[in-house]
Amino acid sequence: MISRFKDQVAVVFGAGRGIGEAIAFRLSNEGAKVVIIDILEIEVNLVKRKIIESGGDAEAHHLDISDEKIVNQCIDQIVKLNSKIDVLINSAGIVGPTNCEIENYELKDFLDVLNVNLVGAFNISKAVIPVMKKNNYGRILHISSIAGKEGNPGMIGYSSSKAALIGMVKSLGKELAQTNITVNGIAPALISSEMNRDTDPKMLEYMVEKIPMKRLGSVDEVASLCAWISSKEASFNTGTIFDISGGRATY
Ligand SMILES: NC(=O)c1ccc[n+]([C@@H]2O[C@H](COP(=O)([O-])OP(=O)(O)OC[C@H]3O[C@@H](n4cnc5c(N)ncnc54)[C@H](O)[C@@H]3O)[C@@H](O)[C@H]2O)c1
- Structural domain spans, the chain: 9-243
| Average confidence (pLDDT) over 146-163 | 96
Whole-angstrom Cα Rg for the chain: 17
Dist. CA 160–CA 11, nearest whole Å: 26
Using the mean position of ligand 1's atoms as its centre, give its distance from the Cα of residue 199 in Å.
Answer: 13
Asked if residues 154 and 206 have their Cβ atoms less than 8 Å apart, the reply is no
Using the mean position of ligand 1's atoms as its centre, give its distance from the Cα of residue 96 in Å.
Answer: 11
Using the mean position of ligand 1's atoms as its centre, give its distance from the Cα of residue 224 in Å.
Answer: 17
Asked if residues 21 and 44 have their Cβ atoms less than 8 Å apart, the reply is no
Could you identify the atom of ligand 1 that is nearest to the CA of residue 191? 3
- Helices 107-114 & 156-175, crossing angle to 10 degrees? 30
Question: Per-residue pLDDT for 2 more than 80?
Answer: no
Distances (CA, A) of 29 to 2, 3, 21: 8, 8, 12
The pLDDT assigned to 202 comes to: 84
Ligand 1 pocket residue status of 155, Cβ below 6 Å: no
Helix, strand, or coil here: 74? helix
Average pLDDT of the chain is 96
pLDDT in tens, 102-145: 999 999 999 999 999 999 999 999 999 999 999 999 999 999 99
Name which residue sits closest to atom 17 of ligand 1, judged by CA.
195
Q: Residue type at 196?
A: N
The pLDDT assigned to 243 comes to: 98
Q: Which residues 6+ apart lie within 8 Å of 8 measured at CB? A: 31, 32, 33, 86, 87
Q: Which residues 6+ apart lie within 8 Å of 35 measured at CB? A: 9, 10, 11, 12, 58, 59, 60, 61, 78, 82, 85
Question: Per-residue pLDDT for 90 more than 80?
Answer: yes
Helix, strand, or coil here: 173? helix
Dist. CA 207–CA 22, nearest whole Å: 22
Question: Per-residue pLDDT for 1 more than 70?
Answer: no
Could you identify the atom of ligand 1 that is nearest to the CA of residue 207? 3
Enter the pTM of the model.
0.97
Question: Per-residue pLDDT for 160 more than 90?
Answer: yes
Using the mean position of ligand 1's atoms as its centre, give its distance from the Cα of residue 70 in Å.
Answer: 19
pLDDT in tens, 35-53: 999 999 999 999 999 999 9
Ligand 1 pocket residue status of 92, Cβ below 6 Å: yes
The pLDDT assigned to 207 comes to: 84
Query: What percent of the chain has a predicted confidence (pLDDT) above 70?
Result: 100
105 an active-site residue?
A: no
The pLDDT assigned to 251 comes to: 83
Ligand 1 pocket residue status of 113, Cβ below 6 Å: no
Active site residue: 105, 137, 158, 251, which one? Answer: 158
pLDDT in tens, 186-228: 999 999 998 887 778 887 888 899 999 999 999 999 999 999 9
Ligand 1 pocket residue status of 38, Cβ below 6 Å: yes
Dist. CA 20–CA 31, nearest whole Å: 17
Please give the CATH topology (third level) of the domain spanning 9-243: Rossmann fold (3.40.50)
Mutate to test the pocket of ligand 1, among 70, 116, 124, 193 (most ligand atoms within 8 A of CB): 193
Mutate to test the pocket of ligand 1, among 109, 190, 191, 199 (most ligand atoms within 8 A of CB): 191
